Amino acid sequence: MALTDIDKNLLKRCLAEEPGAWKDFVDRFIGLFTHVIHHTAHARSIRVTDNDVEDLLSEVFLVLLANDYRVLRNFRGNSSLATYLTVVSRRVIVKKMVERRMAEALGHVSTKSKLESLSEEARHQQTLEDQEEIQNMIKQLPPADAQIVEQYHLQGKSYQQISSELDIPENSIGPTLSRARNRMRENKSKTRTL
């Protein structure tokens, strides 16, 4: 797939450091990076928590921003921008996962996440509570966004499956999930302060 005009323009705006360009870039590709994290972790049989995902996303963004956007400046347009970013982010994520495994082997960090240390029954109960909380938060989203969030997070469907089932562009799913997550976080923090 070739570089689209949308991505070419977005890349140009980021490299020129136009106001709002980086936010648009993050909104467009955060879903892709999150998917790469989960896919890579699954392929390596590694459980990742929300905090792990946030940490890995930060690492990816740091690499993209480093040395005046060097990684983005090195993009030659021989593929789609999404394909290039998938390869770059996967390399960063694998490197960080290997470093973590090494640290665990040396005893520098805990090898068990909080979820792994729970008993099977407690884990099942926690999963049910998490799903119930997600269902409640989904109800506060617009119906179209709610469908996408439910299919991705609760039913475990891929972007491609969601795209064909809901008849929407596949590249719109990541940004929709990102916006929905932000909206759910905002709603969650509002209810905590009440």
Q: Which residue ranges make up each domain of the chain?
A: 5-105, 118-193
| pLDDT higher than 60, residue 140 | yes
Confidence check: pLDDT of 4 > 50:
yes
For residue 17, what is the DSSP state? T
| 164 vs 25: CA distance, rounded Å | 25
Question: pTM here?
Answer: 0.54
**Other Cβ atoms closer than 10 A to 88:** 19
AA identity, residue 189? S
Contact predicate 109/103, CB 8 Å: yes
Contact 94, 26 (CB under 8 A): no
Instruction: Work out the average pLDDT over 89-118.
Output: 68
Q: Enter the CATH code of domain 5-105.
A: 1.10.1740.10
Tokens linked to 174? 């990541």
* 133 alpha carbon, distance to own chain's centre: 20
Closest C-alpha among 161, 133, 127, 128 to residue 147: 161
pLDDT tens-digit profile of 43-67? 888 888 888 899 999 999 999 998 8
Tell me which architecture the domain covering 118-193 has in CATH: Orthogonal Bundle (1.10)
- Distance from the Cα of residue 64 to its chain's centroid: 15
For 41, 99, 121, 128, the CA distances from 124, given in Å and listed in that order, are: 21, 30, 5, 6
